[in-house]
Homo-oligomer: A and B are copies of this chain.
Amino acid sequence: MMADLRRFAINQITTRDWTLEQAVNGYARQGVAGIGVWTEYLDACGIRQGARLIRDAGLFVPSLCTSAWVNIADRAGFDAGLAENRRRLDAAAEIGATALVVVPGSLATGEKDLPAARSRVLGALEHLLPYAREVGVVLGIEPLHPMYAADRSCLNTFAQCLDICRRLGKGTGIVADTYHCWWDPEFVPGLRQAGPENILTFHLGDWLVPTRDVYHDRGMVGDGVVDFGAYRAVLDDMGYDGPFEIELFSKFDWWLRDGDETVAVAVDRCAPLVGGRQKAPC
């Protein structure tokens, strides 16, 4: 039986050494329906050209990764971060991405005040929201694993991100990721509280034991301890019909392999988890 991959996307960082063009073609060639795009690859390709490649291949784009960091204490630097985020919102709109994934950084250099960093991020999101609504791109609030709380993102629990979405309202939503959230006692309750309409994309990544590197040792689906079937059951039960997107940072394993092999294994492992119950085409 053919795998049903209509809801399945690969986040292009998973095939780190491929250009955007290689990723678009490599995913489409194996029947993957969507691509999570990173700004670095998109900029290297050119935004207009990237949009054309994606459109021509017929891929959907759950998200553009990521927002620019706003972990800058001085006003001029902070404002430059906001301007770069507006540029990325434009790029997301041009490639038809549903969301810009918010990974906003955390502490500024030398700073130790985490509550202040969190307030700064909230302020940045409040500032960006009208523009995001204007260009029709959702701010995808992603809880990042607490081991990234100092540098990558100060948004670290599902409850914290859901609270931000509720405060900001329309134009925001949750990017859920098993790698970042599997440990969180509020992950499943939070998914249900958010409701299917507020989950923008559901990232798949496994937690390896042992984890050999804080930043780049995410596991292929099935190689770790994450109970993907249980999450799929919850998502079905709550009526989620959005995308599933595998995203691996893997310097010891998948980044060292040929992209075609990584895609083939990702498809093979994820197919049982991503089929069925698709949103009607709009």
Contacts and interface: CB of A to CB of B under 8 A. Distances in A.
Interface in A192-251: 207, 209-215, 224-227, 230
Given A146-B146, A183-B146, A227 B112 contact: yes
B227 A183 contact: no
A210 to B, nearest CB: 7
A160 B212 CA distance: 27
B227 A149 contact: no
A211 B152 CA distance: 12
The secondary structure that dominates the A interface is loop
Bin chain A's interface residue count: 20 to 34
Interface string A157-171: 101100000000000
Nearest to A117: B225
A148 to B, nearest CB: 9
Given A107-B225, A225-B112, A146 B147 contact: yes
B207 A150 contact: yes
23 contacts: A107-B225, A112-B225, A112-B226, A112-B227, A112-B230, A114-B225, A114-B227, A145-B146, A145-B147, A146-B147, A147-B211, A147-B214, A149-B182, A149-B207, A156-B183, A157-B157, A157-B184, A159-B185, A160-B185, A210-B214, A210-B215, A211-B214, A212-B214
